[in-house]
């Protein structure tokens, strides 16, 4: 494995080895990497003789509803355990109702995550932004430590890699990512089967939800914005997880450098997902909005009305996003329409940065 895993703190591995009763939790509005890492690590630790509790505030999205062990997942914070592990959660708030500050402070805690904005909220932290997925990190660690990976575990871990890289298409897909995937294939995961289950099962209500988001799409210079609300899901019979497909499709638009998808949750809460073309860094804009994630896939929760959220998002993008022009980056606020040709999908003068997989904060679409 290419380097990844060697940087995992030895004390973190020792803490896992010493613990007998372990709680593992992942983030709200979960994606494939969240559930893949939750279930995959759970299977590994149970095979090592640990008693494991698996937790997530929200149910698994449709794209991973075939994974083994979903019935074991509870929505409970850690209690009566020797160790609590958070996987794929960019900060403590991403654990939602699973996180209680008082209880977390009293427990030995581990954080394993690949979001660059992660502040390290555990006693032992392994944050690897160079990894395409938390499941890639866990695969590398398991191989390094000689932990068992059976077929079910391999399917869980490869699912996380596939979903976060959108089938190996993101700019942070590296030789190490492919090595991890190859190791999982060698242990029984089926790439074609998983790809069909993950990417080939969008029902008609989900397609109609995408259509509604496209109808509302507006473009402001290099930025495109659309929105959905709870009534849209109810009217169309769509599930909350179908919003991820909206994000994937809208982000395929060639002309915008950044796309913003807002989901009005009601009660003054609006969830934001941001996606950017290669070479564009969203982290400063996301941080200005109280969020985080990856350079090219970020998000936030805004406590305001939908109309105010639209204004704040466009203002933050204009103020904080720099766009690649003629081999350098220029603040978006300094560019005019003549400066904005179609985005280059393969910039050769900019270092590849981050994935376009899930990086939403507090349940973004």
Residues 166-192 have pLDDT tens digits of: 999 988 899 999 999 999 999 999 999
Q: If you average pLDDT over residues 215-232, what whole number do you get?
A: 96
* Residue 158, H or E segment: helix 151-165
In the three-class reduction of DSSP (H, G, I as helix; E, B as strand; rest coil), residue 279 is classed as: coil
Quick check: is 111 in a domain?
A: yes
Q: How does pLDDT run across 343-357, given as a tens digit for each residue? A: 554 443 333 333 333
* Per-residue pLDDT band at 240 (split at 50, 70, 90): confident
Determine the pLDDT at residue 358.
Answer: 40
Q: What is the mean pLDDT of the chain?
A: 90
Residues 269 and 175 in one domain: no
* Per-residue pLDDT band at 2 (split at 50, 70, 90): low
Determine the pLDDT at residue 348.
Answer: 35
Residues 44 and 152 in one domain: yes
Residues 125 and 239 in one domain: no
Q: Which residues does 191 contact at the CB level (< 8 Å), separation at least 6? A: 158, 162, 181, 185
Residues 21 and 65 in one domain: yes
Residue 136 to residue 33: CA distance in whole angstroms: 9
pLDDT reading at 338 higher than 70: no
Residues 156 and 52 in one domain: yes
Determine the pLDDT at residue 364.
Answer: 39
Residues 189 and 281 in one domain: no
**66 or 239: which carries more pLDDT confidence?**
66
Q: How does pLDDT run across 30-43, given as a tens digit for each residue? A: 999 999 999 999 99
Residues 118 and 212 in one domain: no
Q: Which tokens go with 181?
A: 């995937």
E strand map for the chain: 21-25, 51-55, 73-74, 83-87, 109-113, 124-127, 218-220, 223-229, 258-266, 269-276, 292-293, 297-302, 322-325, 328-331
Name the domain boundary from 175, 199, 223: 199
Quick check: is 54 in a domain?
A: yes
Determine the pLDDT at residue 126.
Answer: 98
Quick check: is 264 in a domain?
A: yes
pLDDT reading at 80 higher than 60: yes
Q: How does pLDDT run across 81-106, given as a tens digit for each residue? A: 999 999 999 999 999 999 999 999 99
Determine the pLDDT at residue 340.
Answer: 56
Q: If you average pLDDT over residues 309-313, what whole number do you get?
A: 97
Residues 185 and 171 in one domain: yes
Quick check: is 333 in a domain?
A: yes
The one-character DSSP state at 344 is P
Residues 135 and 218 in one domain: no
The residue with tokens 């559930």 is 35
Determine the pLDDT at residue 351.
Answer: 34
Residues 163 and 208 in one domain: no
Domain count, the chain: 2
Q: Which structural domain, as residue segments, surrounds residue 291?
A: 204-339
pLDDT reading at 151 higher than 80: yes
Determine the pLDDT at residue 356.
Answer: 36
CB 96 within 8 A of CB 301: no
Quick check: is 352 in a domain?
A: no
Name the domain boundary from 199, 226, 244: 199
pLDDT reading at 238 higher than 80: yes
Q: What CATH number does the domain containing 333 carry?
A: 3.10.310.30
Of 203, 207, 291, nearest in space to 246 by CA: 207
**In degrees rounded to 5, what are phi and psi of residue 195?**
-60, -40
Quick check: is 361 in a domain?
A: no
Residues 44 and 162 in one domain: yes
Residues 190 and 230 in one domain: no
């Amino acid at each position: 494995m290419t380097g990844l895993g060697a940087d995992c703190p030895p004390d973190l591995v020792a803490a896992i080895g010493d613990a007998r009763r372990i709680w593992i939790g992942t983030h709200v509005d979960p994606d494939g990497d969240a559930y893949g890492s939750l279930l995959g690590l759970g299977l590994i630790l149970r095979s090592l003789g640990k008693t494991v509790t698996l937790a997530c505030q929200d149910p698994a999205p449709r794209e991973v509803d075939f994974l083994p062990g979903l019935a074991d997942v509870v929505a409970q914070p850690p209690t009566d355990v020797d160790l609590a592990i958070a996987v794929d959660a960019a900060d403590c708030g991403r654990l939602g109702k699973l996180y209680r500050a008082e209880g977390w402070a009293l427990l030995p805690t581990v954080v394993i995550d690949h979001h660059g904005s992660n502040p390290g909220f555990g006693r032992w932290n392994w944050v690897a932004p160079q990894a395409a997925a938390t499941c890639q990190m866990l695969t590398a660690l398991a191989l390094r430590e000689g932990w068992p990976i059976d077929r079910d575990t391999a399917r869980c871990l490869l699912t996380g890699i596939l979903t976060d890289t959108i089938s190996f298409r993101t700019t942070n897909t590296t030789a190490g990512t492919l090595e991890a995937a190859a190791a999982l294939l060698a242990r029984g995961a089926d790439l074609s089967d998983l790809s069909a289950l993950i990417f080939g099962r969008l029902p008609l209500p989900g397609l109609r939800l995408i259509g509604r988001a496209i109808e509302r799409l507006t473009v402001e210079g290099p930025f495109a914005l659309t929105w959905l609300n709870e009534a849209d899901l109810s009217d169309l019979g769509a599930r909350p997880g179908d919003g991820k497909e909206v994000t994937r499709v809208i982000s395929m638009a060639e002309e915008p450098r950044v796309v913003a998808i807002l989901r009005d949750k009601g009660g003054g809460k609006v969830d934001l997902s941001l996606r950017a073309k290669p070479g564009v860094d969203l982290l400063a804009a996301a941080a200005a909005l109280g969020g985080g994630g990856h350079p090219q896939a970020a998000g936030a929760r805004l406590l305001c009305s939908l109309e105010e959220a639209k204004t704040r998002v466009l203002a933050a993008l204009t103020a904080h996003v720099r766009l690649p022009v003629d081999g350098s980056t220029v603040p978006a606020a300094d560019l005019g329409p003549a400066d904005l040709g179609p985005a280059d999908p393969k910039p050769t003068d900019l270092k590849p940065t981050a994935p376009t997989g899930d990086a939403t904060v507090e349940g973004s679409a």
